[in-house]
Amino acid sequence: MGPVVGSILILGGVGLVFAALIALANRKLKVWEDPRIDAVAGMLPNANCGACGFPGCRAFAESCVGGATAPAKCTVSTPAQVSDIAAYLGVDAGEAEKRVARLLCAGGSDLAVRQADYQGYPTCAAAAAVAGGGKGCAWGCLGLADCAVACDFGAIEMSETGLPVVDPEKCTACGDCVRACPKDLFVVMPAAHRLLVQCRNLVAGDDVLETCRVACTACGKCVQDAAPGLISVARGVAEIDYDMIALAERKATSRCPSGAIVWLEGAQFAGRLTSARAASLTGSTA
């Protein structure tokens, strides 16, 4: 037997031994996985948006199969898809509270002053890096649609005054707009939370109205008109304690001199879209 043939036989023998060990280890250490997980994952939209609180649709499917999560928690699935998953698993579909993205700014081009024209790369992130973007209010929406671009569900459309309008029916509460906004102006909240302060400026007093006519002046009228403890102005802008939102009433907005605090019914800023598009959205800002 020549040295070459001997080397081949030795290497082949070593390979066979390791292959046998790997096969044995795979058989002994293999973790059984419920085949229903793949089936449920196949029924999901596979948007992997994270709105359900899981890192992806497969993780959500694992939780559903394990009984820890109701199928209705997937806000992207249609009612028919939710019913199919529930029927397949033999469980109740459950309920999911409708959540929607809201913008904490109402200062469109018709109401907010611009102190400079930004001529750079047309994104909010780029504009924010250049002296804040040129808007008189340093906390205001820049209107360059980073949020609309980030939304994979077509739920955000820019209004004629440069404010993003969220369609509650299309919004899945995935949070992409929250992450995309360089001014941190988006929040995701239950649609049932109707009281909202559409301003984040921290300059108290009427002087702020020179830069935006719908800015919060921290006058405190909403604090007086709301249930005790529901609203505060400790940081220079009205803030709502959403742990107490069940006590909210429309009258908290009645004396706001600028309209910074509103009572929402359906879509926010729907009236600021073109008339045809606005008509397709249910509800309006009161």
CATH number of the domain encompassing residue 69: 1.10.15.40
Return the closest-CA partner of residue 76 out of 105, 91, 56, 102: 56
Is 5 inside a domain boundary?
no
Q: pLDDT (tens digit, 9 = 90+) per residue, 63-72? A: 999 999 999 9
pLDDT of residue 209: 95
Is 22 inside a domain boundary?
no
- Dump strand ranges (E) for the chain: 99-103, 156-158, 164-166, 186-190, 195-197, 231-232, 239-240, 261-266, 283-285
pLDDT band for 272, please (50, 70, 90 cuts).
Answer: low
pLDDT of residue 19: 83
- pLDDT of 263 strictly over 90: yes
Residue 268 neighbours by CB under 8 Å, 6+ apart: 102, 103, 165, 166, 196, 198, 285
Domain boundary among 54, 89, 124: 89
pLDDT of residue 9: 74
Whether 233 and 198 share a structural domain: yes
Whether 149 and 40 share a structural domain: no
- pLDDT of 153 strictly over 50: yes
β partners of residue 232: 239
Cβ–Cβ < 8 Å for 143, 105: no
Is 173 inside a domain boundary?
yes
Residue 121 neighbours by CB under 8 Å, 6+ apart: 127
Whether 168 and 205 share a structural domain: yes
Whether 112 and 225 share a structural domain: yes
pLDDT of residue 1: 57
pLDDT band for 24, please (50, 70, 90 cuts).
Answer: confident
pLDDT band for 273, please (50, 70, 90 cuts).
Answer: low
Whether 67 and 201 share a structural domain: no
pLDDT of residue 275: 44
CATH of the domain at 158: 3.30.70.20
Q: pLDDT (tens digit, 9 = 90+) per residue, 196-255? A: 999 999 998 999 999 999 999 999 999 999 999 999 998 889 999 999 999 999 999 999
Domain that residue 230 falls in: 99-285
- pLDDT of 25 strictly over 90: no
Sign of the dihedral defined by the CA atoms of residues 74, 75, 77, 78, in that order: positive
Please give the average per-residue pLDDT across 131-156, as a whole number. Answer: 93
Whether 228 and 107 share a structural domain: yes
Whether 120 and 69 share a structural domain: no
Domain boundary among 26, 58, 89: 89
Please give the average per-residue pLDDT across 124-144, as a whole number. Answer: 92
What radius of gyration, in Å, describes the C-alpha atoms of the chain?
27
Whether 82 and 155 share a structural domain: no
pLDDT of residue 30: 65
pLDDT of residue 12: 79
Please give the average per-residue pLDDT across 50-72, as a whole number. Answer: 93
pLDDT of residue 32: 65
Is 13 inside a domain boundary?
no
pLDDT of residue 271: 66
DSSP 213: T
Number of domains in the chain: 2
Cβ–Cβ < 8 Å for 166, 101: yes
Is 103 inside a domain boundary?
yes
Is 192 inside a domain boundary?
yes
pLDDT of residue 264: 94
Is 259 inside a domain boundary?
yes
Q: How far apart are CA 222 and CA 216, in angstroms?
A: 10
Q: How far apart are CA 41 and CA 59, in angstroms?
A: 9
Cβ–Cβ < 8 Å for 57, 34: no
Q: Which residue has the higher pLDDT, 12 or 157?
A: 157
Whether 47 and 108 share a structural domain: no
pLDDT of residue 117: 87
Whether 130 and 254 share a structural domain: yes
Lowest mean pLDDT among 38-47, 211-220, 261-270, 273-282: 273-282
Is 56 inside a domain boundary?
yes
Whether 223 and 263 share a structural domain: yes
Whether 264 and 158 share a structural domain: yes
